[in-house]
Amino acid sequence: MTEAGMQRMASRVFAALLADDDASMTSAELALALQISPAAVSGAINYLTQVSMVGREREPGSRRDRYRLHNEVWYTTFAGRDRVLTRWEQTLRDGARTLGEHTPAGARIAETAAFFEFVQSELGAMMDRWEAHRKTLDLPTAKGSREA
């Protein structure tokens, strides 16, 4: 995950949660499992929360937080990119207009905006195809049973 651009510590924390049976750990559990400081856990959790890959929940009857992977984390993560791509595309289109779409820099930025528009339209269709494909699979659920 680090090679794909995720921060090193966030990658380690994400992997620990992904490998945990209930995909949930406290800060102390993460620090112990990964042999890292509570500050390192906090920084990683802040990043993972910001990119909507991990949620924070209160442990019942305790003041301790548990950090949990979202259900269908990859689907949710990619689906959430739609808002980011829309913002980037609009910013790039504004930049191309400001520079002049027929200048070399403006043309480059306009092409980048067109790329993000294309990716965004393809991402929606791909997510729909995934949902249809997922229904054909006999995947175990988080509880260990098979999906119907």
Q: What is the pTM of this model?
A: 0.67
More confident call, 18 vs 146: 18
For residues 148 and 95, the model is more confident at: 95
Q: How confident is the model at residue 15 (pLDDT cuts 50, 70, 90)?
A: very high
Contacts of 135 (CB under 8 A, 6+ apart): none
Average pLDDT, the chain: 86
pLDDT digits (tens, 9 = 90+) for 85-94: 788 889 999 9
- Give the CA-trace dihedral at 29, 32, 36, 39, to 10 degrees: 40
- Please give the helix or strand (H or E) that residue 48 lies within, else none: helix 38-50
Question: pLDDT by residue (tens digit) across 49-72?
Answer: 988 889 888 877 888 889 998 777
Which runs of E-coded beta strand occur in 3-148?
24-26, 54-58, 65-69
**pLDDT (tens digit per residue) in 21-54:** 888 999 999 999 999 999 999 999 999 998 888 9
Which tokens hold the place of 60? 């019942």
Strand ranges of the sheet holding 24-26, from the earlier edge strand across to the other edge: 24-26, 65-69, 54-58
The pLDDT of residue 142: 57
